[in-house]
Amino acid sequence: MIAHLVTPDLATSIWTLVWHWGLGIGIIILLVGAGLVFKVRDCFYGAAIVAVALSIYGYGVADDAKLCNARLKEQVVKLHQSFTFTPKPTTWHW
């Protein structure tokens, strides 16, 4: 039953989210912790840089999703325009 819930595609997509977001958030946590423990300001600057990079990445992912949806919508519209339906004749001309 669990095999039906966890497909390779699902695992791959979740792993990419964990890899990008989790790694970045982990680096931020480690840098802030190091800055608090060792009293080094550069760690806070590094955490801020990583946070800005993650926010830019998130903005790019959102734009990419909008772009993919727009391309899909364009393809669907073109597909529907390619079908031309001719009405059936109401009377038979023999």
pTM: predicted TM-score of the whole model, two decimal places = 0.56
- Phi-psi label, residue 83: left if phi above 0, alpha if psi -120 to 50, beta otherwise: beta
First to last CA, the chain: 62
> Can you tell me the mean pLDDT for 39-50?
91
Under the banding of pLDDT at 50, 70 and 90, the label for residue 22 is: confident
Under the banding of pLDDT at 50, 70 and 90, the label for residue 67 is: confident
| Residue 2 in this model has a pLDDT that exceeds 70 | no
Residue pair 21/54 in contact (Cβ under 8 Å)? The answer is yes
Q: What pLDDT, on a 0 to 100 scale, did the predictor assign at position 60?
A: 77
Helix (H) or strand (E) holding 42: helix 41-82
Q: What pLDDT, on a 0 to 100 scale, did the predictor assign at position 5?
A: 53
